[in-house]
Amino acid sequence: MTQAETELPPTENSSFRTLLLGACLIVFVVLVLAGYDGSRDLARLKARETQLETRLRVTDAAINELGDRIGRLRSDPYTLERVAREELGLSRPGELVVVLPAPPDPARPTASTP
What's the rounded Cα separation, in Å, for the pair 8 and 4?
8
The contacts of residue 110 (CB under 8 Å, 6+ apart) are 104
How many whole angstroms from its chain centre is CA 90?
40
Domain boundaries, the chain: 12-86
Task: Name the amino acid, one letter, at 107.
Answer: A
**How does pLDDT run along the chain (114 residues), one tens digit per residue?**
555 555 555 566 788 888 888 888 888 888 877 777 777 888 889 999 999 999 999 999 999 999 999 999 999 999 999 999 888 888 889 998 888 898 888 887 766 655
Q: Rounded CA gap, 90 and 97, in Å?
A: 9
**Cα(93)–Cα(98) distance, integer angstroms:** 14
